[in-house]
Each structure stands twice: as structure tokens, then as C-alpha cells.
């Protein structure tokens, strides 16, 4: 019975691997890349819109403790308040324009009484890969302008820390208002404000993301193609085995069955040995 080979353990294992891989391509990998493509398009649209839109007070863009969302991130906002340099945190292990950097996070208490985390920009490490001296934020009330940013993820839940290697300064592994709030004891609202050029307290301005589509859409199509090729290959070999003379056919004489690559190599090696022995 030609269909019997489908129940062989080796064929069942191959079938399982092919269908699991194809299913992952269609339901996980390709949708993941499509989602990243949608996120990139939304980001590009938000950044582009921020160039011409007028900055609005943060309390109007994000009333109360509303966290930044896809509809508010990158909007230009203004905040009036007083910097709290004693609760400053350094974000470490950053990369800006392809080079290592530290980002300086300084809380600011607004005139309404809220505390907002402000990313004042970046500084480059010194020759000992430590934080170099940088300008302190101005004292007294200031009005700043920047862009709304959502908190970065902190998947491992790593807290901010200070030890001899940091010179006593608080360091964090992500730009996250919750991490800074936990380390300083301040009640900081979700998200943060990334300072624009020329603002009070700004250091080296963080560049805006590039407005390109990215490779995500083409990656998604590639995963769909990979899944399709896997299924097509499985179907091809299945149909080949169903024809008379298939490699796995049990009713075919052993001598007439197709030889595997390993068998062919073994026979060639044996023939070379016999030829060398006879000579």
C-alpha cells in the first residue's frame, strides 16, 4: 500500500517539523514583522506631524497621569517647572549615532505639582568609559519644550543602582519613569519628555528616528515565502513517494530502489579501495 509510508516514524517527524515551521511562519513570524512595519509607519507619521504642529502644554496632551500612547508619542509639548538635579539618573549602555553614550535623566517638578522625567540628552564616555563632567540644569523655574516619549521596556526589572563604579551616581539600564521613581522615591508620571535643541538644561540633543520604512515588510513576505516553500517541498516529496519506484516503496525490489546520497558515496569509496588494492 503506497500510503503506508506516511505512517513511518521518520516521515511523521518530518511532517511535524514542516507543518510547525510553516505554521510559525504564517501565524507568528510574518505577523510580527507586519506589526513592526505598522509601528514604523505610525512612528514616521507622528514624527513628521510634530515638525509642523505647535507645541502644547503637557497637561493638555496627557491630562492627569495618562501614559503616552501611539497617538501622543512624539508630540511636541511644553512644561513649566523646576529641575530636581539631586534625583538625577544616568541611563547607561546607550548607543547614539552608532557610538556609546550616556543619557542624563533629570526629574522636573511642574508648577501644577506633578513630577515629569526629562531626558536632557546624551554625553559621550570619557577615556575610562565613565560619565564625564556635564552641565547641571538651571536653577529656578524654567519652561522647556520637548517631545513626548513612552517609557522603555524593562523586561528583567533591573532597578537603578549606585556604587563605586558609578561614582555614587544613580545608573539605570533603561529610560523608564518607573525605574527612576523607585530609585528616588518621587511620584513620577508615566513616560518622559525628550528635550529639543536650545532648551534650558539640554546637553547633546538626541537625534530623531530616521523616517524610512525599514525592512520589516519585506521580512514578513520572506517568512511567508519560507513557509510556502516548506509546504511545497513536503508536498513534492510526498507525491514522489506515491509514484511507483519511490525511495520508500516497500514493494520495490531492494536492488531497484533509488540509492541515497550516503549509499552512493559509500559505494564510490569502496570502489576506490578495491581499485587501489588491485593495483
85 and 188 in a common domain: yes
Residue 23: inside a domain: yes
Residue 120: predicted pLDDT: 97
Same-domain check for residues 133 and 76: yes
Instruction: Say yes or no to pLDDT of 8 above 80.
Output: no
pLDDT at position 129: 85
Higher-scoring residue by pLDDT: 35, 87: 87
How much is the pLDDT for 269? 75
174 and 72 inside one domain? yes
Asked if residue 68 and residue 137 are part of one domain, the reply reads yes
Which of 195, 226, 241 marks a domain boundary? 195
Residue 101 is assigned to a structural domain of this protein:
yes
Residue 163: per-residue pLDDT: 85
Residue 72 sits at the vertex; the CA angle it makes with 202 and 177, to the nearest 5 degrees, is 55
Domain annotation covers residue 47: no
Work out the mean pLDDT of the chain and round it to a whole number: 86
Residues 107 and 229 in one domain: no
Residue at a domain's end among 137, 161, 195: 195
Q: Band of the pLDDT at 147, cuts 50, 70, 90?
A: very high
Residues 63 and 31 in one domain: no
- Within a domain: residue 239? yes
Tens of pLDDT, residue by residue over 163-205, are: 887 888 999 999 999 999 999 999 999 999 999 999 999 999 9
Q: What is the pLDDT of residue 99?
A: 94
Do residues 263 and 170 both lie within one domain?
A: no
Residues 175, 63 within the same domain: yes
Higher pLDDT: 97 or 244? It is 97
More confident residue, 137 or 262: 137
Q: Which of 143, 162, 195 is the last residue of a domain?
A: 195
Decide if 49 is inside a domain.
no
pLDDT greater than 60 at residue 255: no
User: How many domains does the chain contain in total?
Assistant: 2
Residue 262 falls inside a structural domain: yes
Q: How does DSSP assign 115-184, residue by residue?
A: EEEEEEEEE---TTSSPPP-PPPPSSEEEEEEEEEPPPP-TT-PPPB--GGGTT-EEESS--HHHHHHHH
Same domain for 162 and 61, yes or no, is yes
Q: What percent of the chain has pLDDT over 70?
A: 88
**139 and 245 together in one domain:** no
Asked whether residue 163 is domain-assigned, the answer is yes
User: Which residues contact residue 40 at a Cβ distance below 8 angstroms, ignoring those fewer than 6 apart?
Assistant: 213, 214, 216
In a shared domain, residues 222 and 118: no
6: containing domain: 2-35+216-271
Judge whether 201 lies within some domain: no
**What pLDDT is recorded for position 260?**
56
The answer to whether residues 97 and 139 belong to one domain is yes
Q: Report whether pLDDT(51) > 80.
A: no
Q: What is the mean pLDDT of residues 221-248?
A: 82
Give the 3-state secondary structure of residue 45: helix
Amino acid at each position: 500500500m503506497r500510503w503506508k509510508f506516511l505512517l513511518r516514524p521518520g516521515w511523521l517527524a518530518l511532517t511535524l517539523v514542516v507543518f510547525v515551521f510553516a505554521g510559525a511562519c504564517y501565524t507568528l513570524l510574518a505577523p510580527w514583522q507586519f506589526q513592526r512595519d505598522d509601528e514604523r509607519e505610525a512612528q514616521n507619521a507622528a514624527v513628521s506631524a510634530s515638525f509642523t504642529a505647535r507645541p502644547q502644554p503637557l497637561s493638555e496632551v496627557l491630562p492627569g497621569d495618562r501614559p503616552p500612547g501611539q497617538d501622543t508619542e512624539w508630540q511636541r509639548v511644553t512644561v513649566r517647572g523646576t529641575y530636581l538635579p539631586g534625583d538625577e539618573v544616568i541611563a547607561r549602555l546607550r548607543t547614539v549615532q552608532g557610538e556609546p553614550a550616556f543619557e542624563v535623566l533629570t526629574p522636573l517638578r511642574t508648577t501644577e505639582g506633578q513630577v515629569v522625567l526629562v531626558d536632557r540628552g546624551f554625553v559621550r564616555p570619557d577615556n575610562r568609559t565613565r560619565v564625564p563632567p556635564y552641565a547641571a540644569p538651571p536653577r529656578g523655574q524654567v519652561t522647556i519644550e520637548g517631545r513626548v516619549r513612552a517609557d522603555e521596556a524593562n523586561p528583567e526589572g533591573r532597578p537603578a543602582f549606585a556604587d563605586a563604579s558609578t561614582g555614587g551616581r544613580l545608573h539605570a539600564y533603561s529610560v523608564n519613569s518607573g525605574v527612576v521613581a523607585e530609585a528616588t522615591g518621587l511620584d513620577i508620571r508615566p513616560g518622559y519628555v525628550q528635550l529639543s535643541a536650545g532648551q534650558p538644561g539640554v546637553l547633546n540633543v538626541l537625534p530623531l528616528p530616521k523616517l524610512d520604512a525599514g525592512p520589516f515588510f519585506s521580512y514578513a513576505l520572506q517568512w511567508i515565502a519560507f513557509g510556502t516553500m516548506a509546504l511545497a517541498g513536503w508536498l513534492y516529496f510526498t507525491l514522489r513517494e506515491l509514484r511507483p519506484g519511490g525511495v520508500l516503496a516497500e514493494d520495490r525490489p531492494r536492488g531497484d530502489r533509488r540509492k541515497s546520497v550516503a549509499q552512493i558515496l559509500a559505494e564510490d569509496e569502496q570502489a576506490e579501495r578495491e581499485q587501489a588494492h588491485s593495483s
